[in-house]
Structure 1
Amino acid sequence: MDTTEIILDALQRAATAHGVHEAEVLGGKYDEQWPQWYAEHMTRTLAGSGYQIVRVDQ
């Protein structure tokens, strides 16, 4: 998988999981903090798959 595919997969997983989160945890309410939630979920998803985001000094 290339970088775009990896990020797309993580976003799709986050979107699915966030829908469940809003429905089950928030009782169907809109999550005002969704960017934070997505970032945390994607960090866990990527780390669980062996990826990490690192800055490359140029």
Structure 2
Amino acid sequence: MNPAQNEILLGLLKQAAAAHGVHEQEDLGGVYDEAWPEWYAEHMTRALADQGLRIVPVDTRAGG
């Protein structure tokens, strides 16, 4: 991963953490969210799309 990719993911994780705290307080009434990984994945996928980015598989076949 290059430094720019690292910065994008770091920024998204920080934004997701803050947004998830609000979600737990406001939507779940302060209850711990057992499904937090799913929530983070959806939130980060949406945030990447909002920035015009997406996660795609890398073709690891020879010559691919």
Matched, 1:19 2:21: yes
User: CA separation in 2, counterparts of 1:42 and 1:24?
Assistant: 19
The one-letter amino acid of 1:10's match is L
Gaps of 5+ in 2: none
Counting aligned pairs with the same residue, the percent is 62
Match of 1:55 in 2: 57
Runs of 4+ residues over 3 Å off in structure 1:
none
The equivalences for 1:3-18 within 5 A come to 3-18=5-20
Match of 2:45 in 1: 43
Aligned residues: 58
Gaps of 5+ in 1: none
Q: CA RMSD in A?
A: 1.0
TM-score (norm 1): 0.95
Deviations 1:21-57 (A, max 9, x none): 0000000000000000000000000100011011120
